[in-house]
Amino acid sequence: YVFASISELISARDRVRFSGLHTLWMLNVLVALLINWMSVAQLSAVKHWSAGEVVLQLGWVIPQYFACSLISMPARDLELYDMRSFYERQRPAFFSAMVLLDVASMVVTFADRNNLEGFKPGDWVIAELFVAPMLVAALLAGWARRVSLQWIAGSLTLALEIWFFTTSYVMPS
């Protein structure tokens, strides 16, 4: 969804009222998606698979899908597109998906803390400390009226995601 939306918005750029804030959150969703793709490699470290483990893993996949689809703005016909109004209209639904994604990530990390090869006893705490500020940022961006707070939350989220993506610090080796 997100890549298709970006492509459509670029193609329709002469009919698009640009929003930097919407673009920032689209970028955040893309980086989160890449991080979660990276975490799929971690599934090979699961010691014991069960139906419950499969459901647990789906707990973050489903909110990830909705986060990607809800931030993605279609631009297929010859209409004018206002990214700012789309962002405001989608904001509660999109950030609800982001909050669910962060919570699900924390639940999965905690639930699998003893079920991952290579995970040291305290690794799950480090992972939770990484995701917790992103959860707060999603709550802030989703429901704060001040645009400056939404920008701060988006920038903090992007910085944390880039740090994680470039270091993979909490991923077991």
**pTM, entire model:** 0.89
Mean pLDDT across 47-59: 86
User: What integer pLDDT is reported at residue 112 of this predicted model?
Assistant: 80
Distances (CA, A) of 162 to 33, 70, 141, 165: 12, 22, 18, 5
CA torsion 102-60-68-96 (nearest 10°) is -50
Bridge partners of 16, per DSSP, are 81
Q: What is the pLDDT of residues 58-113, one digit of tens each?
A: 888 999 999 999 999 988 777 899 999 999 999 999 999 999 999 999 998 888 88
Assign 170 a pLDDT band (cuts: 50, 70, 90). very low
Comparing C-alpha atoms, which of 106, 23, 32, 104 is closest to residue 67?
32
Map tokens 């610090």 to a residue: 169
